[in-house]
Amino acid sequence: MDIGLIGLNHKTAPVELREQLSAACTQAGPVVDVLKALPAVQEALFITTCNRVEILFTAPSLEAAFAAFLETWSRDLQRAPEELQRSIYTYRADEAIRHLFRVAASLDSLVVGEPQILGQIKEAYREASKSHATGIILNRLLHRAFSTAKRIRTETGIAGHAVSISFAAVELAKKIFQELAGKKVLLIGAGEMAELAAEHLWNNKVAEIVVANRTLERAQELAHRWRGRALSLEEVPVALIQTDIVISSTGAPDILIQQSQVRAIMKQRRQRPLFFIDIAVPRDIDPRVNDVDNVYLYDIDDLQGVVSQNMAARKNEALEAERIVEEEAIKFRAWLNGLEVVPTIVALRQKMEEIRLGELKRGASALQELTPEQLKAVELISQSMVNKIIHDPITFLKRSGNPQQVSEQVDLAQKFFNLNTNGQSG
């Protein structure tokens, strides 16, 4: 029994194919139903996100399982197996273990270090567990994947560098104000970048998030999510009086905030610092506002530089993370190997114990003249002899390396000592 993984992701397949396969896997029903339809597979877990569709599984024959999945997917997607194979990757044994650990730690993500994937894997595991589709091997493997991801986030700085424009904007604001707790923020625009910025701001405990947008309904929708207020674009100049941070990301063709407007409100603000981040293309804010005292403006080019530096920093941190993945994969392999050799070790111990007791019984007449203390000594000596005889074979089995080597050495030990895994002599 070993571990396999089959799937496709943003590196190997277009989004249309990923969407089709994700829908097919979801429509197939609970994982346990899929297992019933695939006798080659014993345990399984679906991982489906916008960037990947993967199935992690255990099977007596990985090749038979891979073939079964390919056949099922080809039928569901109405595509030839040869066409589908060009987008699919497969991992076997230790490769599958390492791949899962890398995915959980966000080393295989579109944005290295992003935290969402770990939550998505945990949710997939909850669903599989609920369906009783996972067993002793995948249960242990998934918990090891979670602890590996946690260790990487604790011991490396892989998640400590902003690598999205919205996140970089919030991190830049933190550098200017030291902390964002208690600050008032105005978001101009209610698109995806504004939404991501709002989430980061909320996590930094800002006092208030105000959203201004050309469509007031959309502004209200976003503001409600973060317990804020919604404004029309016409109300922005007045809102600037009470605002500490402005993040603008509209699709407007012209400048929305002029230098003259900012200069006019600074007296009412009593010269309190005002921080603008313009991540719109074309720009929303007059570049000349930077010339106003106590006003600071950063545009998307400034943030792109921050993101590029941080991407490089994350890649450096990823090298250390890869070492941790390798260490944890080795530990899991040792546990998995132990799981396979245990029945043989138990059978060996049982057979040796049967031989020991049989010989003592055969010599019972000769032992009748011994005192209870002497009989006890014979018992202890015979047990010690058995333990010393089986010590080297057990050590040999426990030191097995890769899955093929484990299977070969287990088979060799069973033949050498005439064993089977039921603990009976052959």
N-terminal to C-terminal alpha carbon distance within the chain: 23
Which has the closest alpha carbon to 243: 213, 266, 225? 266
Catalytic residue of the set 15, 37, 50, 181? 50
> Looking at the DSSP assignment, which residues form a beta bridge with residue 247?
187, 277
- Looking at residue 239, its amino acid is A
50 flagged as catalytic: yes
The pair phi, psi for residue 389, each rounded to 5°, is -65, -40
Q: What is the Cα–Cα distance from 200 to 194, expressed in whole angstroms?
A: 10
- C-alpha 189/C-alpha 186 separation (Å) is 10
In angstroms, the CA 299 to CA 275 distance is 11
Gap between the Cα atoms of 350 and 419, Å rounded:
10
Question: 278, 103, 95, 267: which is closest to 186 by C-alpha?
Answer: 278
Residue 17: count of CB within 10 angstroms of its CB:
18
Tokens 């569901």 -> residue: 76
Position 161, amino acid? H
Residues designated catalytic: 50
